[in-house]
């Protein structure tokens, strides 16, 4: 501590220690907050299987599922001061046909929910950024953003299978997942069991449904809204 | 003339402080940085605002740097008293390790 340079170095050295301890405390404070995400509605509103090609030059014709779904979920309890953003995604899952314990799982839709503290990092259009900033003006956190209400949502990503066969697949279920990304600390995903103050995602699975047969000309005249509605 | 200027510049750059000052600086750094960290965390947690916590932490650290890095006069209140140069004038009765020197 004799000269200015030594004082600068020692002070900075102790600052890094303090910063690390504060970061540790912040990430530990996550465990003190309740997490009770719930899904009120997750159901399919339209099911259809069509034949198509992956791209224009592809010689192989594959079966693609066309699914529309309605989602009403409350993820607001995931937002604390340490939440940077929440990545919410819906998968379609079904057991493998050949009894080999494998599960097919494909993401069909996703969204990024930013916390007000990370709005500036998102790749938003200026108008959306303005809207987000306005909705969260003066607030450190904005849990209301965790309320998802989506009606008749189309697939964001095409749903097919390596075998190219998808029609009449049984026991398909939609499932909501989430990934909480904190400012400091560990990533955490949706849980299947309670863990301390963090409760498992309630009601995150849709009813099991069977994908319909490929639409033929005779069937095309009928309406194809079957399956998948929860009581 | 130039040598004097260089000496002055070196003194300012080095910013030496005395032993008592060093002890005080060490204490100040430990106390203030720990306090800043604790305040940043508590304010952030209770107001649920992580940006505020970061800004409090950084501002407090900057203030600490300002407090301890420059050689403020209060760190130089107890300069070391050196013995007079030997041979010029022999001072009487200097005691070192209980033995009288001549």
Burial class (CB in 10 A: 0-12, 13-18, 19+), A134: exposed
User: A–B: how many Cβ contacts below 8 A?
Assistant: 80
Query: What is the SS3 assignment for A23?
Result: helix
| CB distance A104 to A117 below 8 Å | no
Whether chain A has a CB inside 8 Å of the CB on B56: the answer is: no
> How far is residue A208's CA from residue A142's CA, in Å, rounded to a whole number?
34
Whether chain B has a CB inside 8 Å of the CB on A2: the answer is: yes
Mean pLDDT value across chain B: 86
Instruction: State residue A154's pLDDT score.
Output: 92
> How far is residue A180's CA from residue A146's CA, in Å, rounded to a whole number?
11
* pLDDT tens digits for range A132-149: 888 877 777 888 888 999
* pLDDT tens digits for range A68-78: 999 999 999 99
Mean pLDDT confidence for A200-215: 88
Tell me how many domains chain B contains: 1
> How far is residue A186's CA from residue A31's CA, in Å, rounded to a whole number?
11
pLDDT score of A24 more than 80: yes
* pLDDT tens digits for range B76-101: 888 888 888 877 655 566 666 666 55
- Per the model's pLDDT, the better-predicted residue between B57 and B88 turns out to be B57
ipTM of the complex: 0.78
pTM to 2 decimals? Answer: 0.78
For residue B45, the chain A residues in CB contact (below 8 A) are: 26, 29, 81
Q: Which residues face A92 on adjacent strands?
A: A106, A174
Mean pLDDT value across chain A: 86
> How far is residue A184's CA from residue B53's CA, in Å, rounded to a whole number?
13
Mean pLDDT confidence for A36-45: 92
Within chain A, how many helices (H) and strands (E) appear?
Answer: 3, 7
pLDDT score of A80 more than 60: yes
Instruction: State residue A218's pLDDT score.
Output: 55
For residue B30, the chain A residues in CB contact (below 8 A) are: 14
For residue B69, the chain A residues in CB contact (below 8 A) are: 4, 7-8, 11
> CB under 8 Å to B73, separation ≥6 — which residues?
none
- Per the model's pLDDT, the better-predicted residue between A133 and A99 turns out to be A133
Instruction: State residue A19's pLDDT score.
Output: 95
> How far is residue B27's CA from residue A221's CA, in Å, rounded to a whole number?
84
Query: What is the SS3 assignment for B16?
Result: coil
Q: Where are the domains of chain A?
A: 1-32, 34-227
> How far is residue A224's CA from residue B3's CA, in Å, rounded to a whole number?
95
Instruction: State residue A229's pLDDT score.
Output: 47
Q: Mutation test of the interface with chain A: which of B50, B54, B63, B71, choosing the one with the most A Cβ atoms within 10 A?
A: B50
Instruction: State residue B92's pLDDT score.
Output: 62
Instruction: State residue A1's pLDDT score.
Output: 73
Mean pLDDT confidence for B39-57: 93
Give the structural domain span for B43.
2-101
Whether chain B has a CB inside 8 Å of the CB on A4: the answer is: yes
| CB distance A82 to A29 below 8 Å | yes
Instruction: State residue A224's pLDDT score.
Output: 47
pLDDT score of A107 more than 90: yes
């Amino acid at each position: 501590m004799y000269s200015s340079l030594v004082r600068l170095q020692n002070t900075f050295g102790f600052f890094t220690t303090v910063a690390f301890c504060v970061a540790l405390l912040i990430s530990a404070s996550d465990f003190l907050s309740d997490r009770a995400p719930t899904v009120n509605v997750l159901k399919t509103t339209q099911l259809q299987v069509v034949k198509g090609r992956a791209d224009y030059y592809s010689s192989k014709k594959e079966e693609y599922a066309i699914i529309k779904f309605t989602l009403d979920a409350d993820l607001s309890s995931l937002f604390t001061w340490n939440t940077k953003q929440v990545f919410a995604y819906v998968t379609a899952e079904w057991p493998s046909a050949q009894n080999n314990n494998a599960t097919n799982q494909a993401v069909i839709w996703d969204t990024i929910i930013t916390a007000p503290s990370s709005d500036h990092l998102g790749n938003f259009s200026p108008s959306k950024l303005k809207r987000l900033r306005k909705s969260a003006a003066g607030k450190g956190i904005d849990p209301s953003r965790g309320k998802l209400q989506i009606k008749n949502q189309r697939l964001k990503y095409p749903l097919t299978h390596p075998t190219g066969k998808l029609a009449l697949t049984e026991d398909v279920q939609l499932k909501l997942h989430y990934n909480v990304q904190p400012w400091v600390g560990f990533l955490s995903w949706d849980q299947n069991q309670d863990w301390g103050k963090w409760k498992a995602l309630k009601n995150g699975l849709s009813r099991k449904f069977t994908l319909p047969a490929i639409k033929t000309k005779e069937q095309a005249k009928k309406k194809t809204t079957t399956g998948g509605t929860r009581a | 003339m130039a040598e004097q200027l260089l000496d002055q510049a070196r003194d300012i750059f080095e910013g030496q402080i005395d032993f008592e000052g060093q002890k005080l600086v060490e204490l100040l750094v430990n106390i203030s940085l720990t306090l800043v960290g604790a305040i940043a965390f508590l304010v952030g947690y209770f107001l649920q605002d992580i940006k505020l916590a970061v800004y409090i932490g950084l501002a407090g650290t900057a203030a600490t740097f300002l407090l301890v890095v420059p050689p403020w006069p209060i760190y130089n209140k107890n300069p070391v008293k050196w013995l007079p140069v030997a041979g010029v004038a022999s001072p009487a009765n200097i005691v070192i390790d209980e033995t009288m020197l001549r």
